[in-house]
């Protein structure tokens, strides 16, 4: 959510930002917000005047009563009562206007960075850097599901029976490799100085509406029937929500946190759930990193965070590249975002395995997360980044370490988490 003072003083900047994100349908929201803000201030001014008048009249009543002027005192009391009725009406309208303004402001996208390329969708994202040389072996690489099945490590047919499309069972060494990746990612981030957390996997609607836009909420979140609870789509949601309506000590920032959680997503929209495979699914696990910092530090942390993910993948021998997300590919709260994509030898192209985002103070304004500074109380900046999401990382790992006989070599950094095992063999 942007600062209403900016909207008030420079509405054209807000309109231009909306256009850069190719969300012209939201342009009327600017005038609507300005009108609501103006009405809110009018009501506040009138209310303050009535309260001041009430205090003055109350003093007059006391004076008149002491002087024995009861009739005059009764006349002033009637004025006080009339003012009280009007004040109640003002306060009621104020509440309605405040709520309407908040809803409109939460629909206006955050300002984008000057570094963000202008483009309509993810096809116009811009490549930044490549890490490790991508290779294609001289033997055919099967589809990832076929590789996993030959390793005796996955059962999607049974999962369809128990849970439906978009779920799977992992078994044996593949399940162990999945856990090894998460544990390695956890330790990797702890060694970077991040504090490890396991958050709640369900959150209230007040947190959901604070961490994402209404459109994202509808397309992602599963609601618990009959309760004000949602299953999280990523641990960032509950991790950021932890600091809702909190004023942090500026000298204690940044907070650098890494969290594990299962993630649950509807995956509605153009992509949808795959008919076959585990690239886009309803349930997966993820290691995440979250930073809450002062506004002057957020861009530096943005650069650090995506580099940690690149370092993690490179340490497992997986070639990756980074893409600066264009304006039309940014969710409403994002100021700037970079995708990390892993090399697929089978497809001979890169695919997304993580995303790092700087949301500046957009989430903090919605959730009331502040910090004390020399200037007083300021809104914090929040950032999040995928460390590792094993279903996609698993695809990248097995494709890049597949051997001609169908077995998969385990990267050296993961072997301590696999009991020293160096290869997952094909099941007979």
Per-residue model confidence as pLDDT tens for the chain (428 residues): 899 999 999 999 999 999 999 999 999 999 999 999 999 999 999 998 888 888 888 888 788 778 888 778 778 788 888 888 888 999 999 999 999 999 999 999 999 999 999 999 999 999 999 999 999 999 999 999 999 999 999 999 999 999 988 899 999 999 999 999 999 999 999 999 999 999 999 999 999 988 987 777 777 889 999 999 999 999 999 999 999 999 999 999 999 999 999 999 987 554 555 557 788 888 999 999 999 999 999 999 999 999 999 999 999 999 999 999 999 999 999 999 999 999 999 999 999 999 999 999 999 999 999 999 888 899 999 999 999 998 899 999 999 999 999 999 999 999 999 999 999 999 86
pLDDT at 33: 96
The answer to whether residues 124 and 328 touch, using CB atoms and an 8 Å cutoff, is yes
**Is the model's pTM score more than 0.75?**
yes
Residue ranges matching CATH 1.10.287.40 in the chain: 4-105
The answer to whether residues 342 and 320 touch, using CB atoms and an 8 Å cutoff, is yes
pLDDT at 268: 57
The CA-atom distances, in angstroms, between 195 and each of 28, 255, 293 are 43, 8, 15
Among the listed residues 60, 94, 90, the one whose alpha carbon sits nearest the alpha carbon of residue 77: 60
DSSP 3-state assignment of 164? coil
pLDDT at 216: 77
DSSP 3-state assignment of 324? strand
- What residues are paired with 154 via a beta bridge? 170
Locate 133 and state its tokens. 């040389």
pLDDT at 274: 55
Measured at the CA of 364, the angle between CA 360 and CA 365, to 5 degrees, comes to: 100
Residue ranges matching CATH 3.30.930.10 in the chain: 122-424
DSSP-derived secondary structure letter, 251 = G
pLDDT digits 0-9 by tens, 260-284:
999 999 875 545 555 577 888 889 9
pLDDT at 187: 98
Class of 4-105 per CATH? mainly alpha
pLDDT digits 0-9 by tens, 369-427:
999 988 889 999 999 999 999 889 999 999 999 999 999 999 999 999 999 999 999 98
Domain 122-424 falls in which CATH fold? Answer: BirA Bifunctional Protein; domain 2 (3.30.930)
* C-alpha to C-alpha distance for 85 and 78, rounded to whole angstroms: 11
């Amino acid at each position: 959510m942007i600062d209403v003072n900016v909207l008030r003083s420079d509405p054209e900047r807000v309109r231009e930002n909306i256009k850069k994100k190719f969300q012209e349908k939201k342009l009327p929201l600017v005038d609507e917000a300005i009108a609501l803000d103006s009405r809110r201030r009018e009501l506040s001014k009138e209310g303050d005047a009535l309260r001041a008048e009430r205090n003055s009249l109350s003093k007059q009543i006391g004076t008149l009563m002491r002087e024995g002027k009861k009739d005059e005192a009764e006349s002033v009391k009637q004025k006080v009562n009339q003012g009280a009725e009007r004040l109640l009406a003002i306060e009621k309208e104020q509440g309605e206007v405040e709520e309407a303004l908040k809803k409109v402001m939460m629909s206006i996208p955050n300002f984008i960075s000057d570094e963000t390329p202008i483009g309509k969708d993810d096809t116009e994202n811009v490549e930044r850097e490549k890490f490790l040389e991508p290779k294609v072996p001289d033997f055919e690489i099967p589809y990832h599901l076929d590789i996993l099945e030959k390793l005796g490590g996955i059962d999607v047919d049974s999962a369809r029976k128990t849970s439906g499309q978009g779920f799977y069972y992992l078994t044996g060494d593949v399940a162990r490799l999945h856990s090894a990746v998460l544990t390695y990612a956890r330790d990797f981030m702890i060694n970077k100085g991040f504090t490890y957390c396991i958050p709640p996997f369900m959150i209230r609607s007040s947190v959901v509406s604070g961490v994402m836009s209404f459109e994202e909420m509808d397309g992602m979140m599963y609601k618990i029937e009959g309760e004000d609870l949602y299953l999280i789509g990523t641990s960032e949601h509950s991790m950021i929500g932890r600091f809702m309506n909190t004023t942090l000590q500026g000298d204690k920032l940044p907070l650098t946190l890494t969290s594990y959680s299962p993630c649950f997503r509807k995956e509605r929209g153009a992509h949808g759930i795959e008919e076959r495979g585990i690239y886009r699914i309803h349930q997966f696990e993820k290691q995440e990193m979250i930073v809450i910092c002062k506004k002057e530090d957020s861009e530096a942390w943005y650069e650090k965070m995506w580099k940690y993910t690149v370092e993690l993948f490179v340490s497992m021998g997986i070639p990756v590249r980074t893409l600066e997300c264009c304006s039309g590919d940014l969710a409403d709260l994002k100021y700037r975002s970079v995708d990390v994509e892993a090399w697929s030898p089978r497809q001979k192209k890169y695919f997304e395995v993580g995303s790092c985002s700087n949301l500046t103070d957009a989430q903090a304004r919605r959730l009331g997360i502040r910090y004390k500074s020399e200037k007083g109380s300021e809104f914090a900046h929040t950032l999040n980044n995928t460390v590792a999401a094993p279903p996609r990382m698993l695809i990248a790992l097995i494709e890049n370490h597949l051997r001609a006989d169908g077995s998969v070599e385990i990267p050296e950094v993961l072997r301590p988490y696999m009991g020293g095992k160096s290869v997952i063999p094909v099941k007979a």
